[in-house]
Amino acid sequence: MTFEKIISLLPYEPPFLFVDELHEVDKEGISGSYTYHESAYFYEGHFKNNPVTPGVILTETMAQIGLVAYGIYLLSLTSKNLNLTNTKIALVSTEMSFYIPVYPNEKVKVVSKKEYFRMNKLKCHVEMFNEKEELVCRGKIAGMMKL
């Protein structure tokens, strides 16, 4: 499955799509990136005169790349005839630690490593890095996939 196909199957669209590109994907993990543009709706008021990307948006970006896109890829391996357009993915838990802020126009890279995928439940260790390769945040994200 191509990176473009995986992105097209994500259940999001702008302004809530936080995946620009995928770099690598295999049975053990996935990586991808996103740039937070200064015109994004969430910078207005967060914070006055000092816009910072909200932690919930960072977490969502990590979930979209590191769990949902990855889950679509893993499901595609199980069946060539699987109708992935009807797949529902529910985030069931996160455990995040944040280290440094992300500002408007910054590009981040998300790296996700599978902990397990069984009975349609996926759990991953996910990290986000800025362009200087500094660790922005990390955590565990788990979700259920319903076909």
Which are the catalytic amino acids?
Answer: 46
Q: Match 């890095």 to its residue by tokens.
A: 129
Angle (CA) 17 6 37, round 5°: 25
Q: How far is it, in rounded angstroms, from Cα 40 to Cα 98? A: 21
User: What does the chain come to in residues?
Assistant: 147
Contact by Cβ (8 Å): 110, 23: no
